[in-house]
Amino acid sequence: MKDTSHHDERIAKMIFASVYPHYITKVEKKGRTKEELHEVISWLTGYNEKDLERILQEKDTFEQFFNNCTLHPNAKQIKGVICGYRVEEITNPITRQARYLDKLVDELAKGRPMEKILRQN
């Protein structure tokens, strides 16, 4: 796998609040809701609505976002290609976790059933 250290650093320093509106737009454009997006974020990270509000207000980076969460134990079941990278092969933890979230948002936008997105099978 090619060196992605610059890419990893860029993702870690990215502000979650700058990407969040794009997640909402993506899922709403495909007929899903902000509430469903929050359910997906909560499943992956353990964050509740109050936590999410604070993260958005304080402009946490993705590094802070993922370092302060409790990742769901089934997150490792998230597999596939996102942004040209196979999720399960990404070695940097913050980048892999950010891509987990991207993959879940994609699945939500594509209309996948919530129980499949939340790996409840």
- Boundaries of every domain in the chain: 5-112
pTM of the entire predicted model: 0.92
Task: Give the per-residue pLDDT at 120.
Answer: 82
pLDDT at 97 exceeding the cut of 90:
yes
User: How far is it, in rounded angstroms, from Cα 86 to Cα 81?
Assistant: 4
Q: What is the pLDDT of residue 10?
A: 94
The rounded percent of the chain whose pLDDT value lies above 70 is: 96
Of residues 16, 8, 77, the one with CA closest to residue 47: 16
* 27-48 pLDDT, tens digit each: 999 999 999 999 999 999 999 9
Residue 50 scores a pLDDT above 80: yes
Q: What value does the mean pLDDT of the chain take?
A: 94
Reported as a pLDDT band with limits 50, 70 and 90, residue 1 is very low
CA–CA distance, 61 with 48 (Å, rounded to integer) = 18
Looking from the CA of 65 toward its CB, the CA atoms found within 13 Å total 30
Q: CA dist 56 to 19, 20, 62, 85, 118, Å?
A: 10, 8, 11, 27, 23
The residue among 56, 57, 68 whose CA lies nearest residue 23 is 56
Fold (CATH) for 5-112: Helicase, Ruva Protein; domain 3 (1.10.8)
Given pLDDT bands bounded at 50, 70 and 90, which one contains residue 4?
low
> Which is more confident, 7 or 73?
73
With a cut of 70, say whether residue 3 has pLDDT above it.
no
Close Cβ partners of 37 (under 8 Å, ≥ 6 residues apart): 23, 24, 27, 105, 108
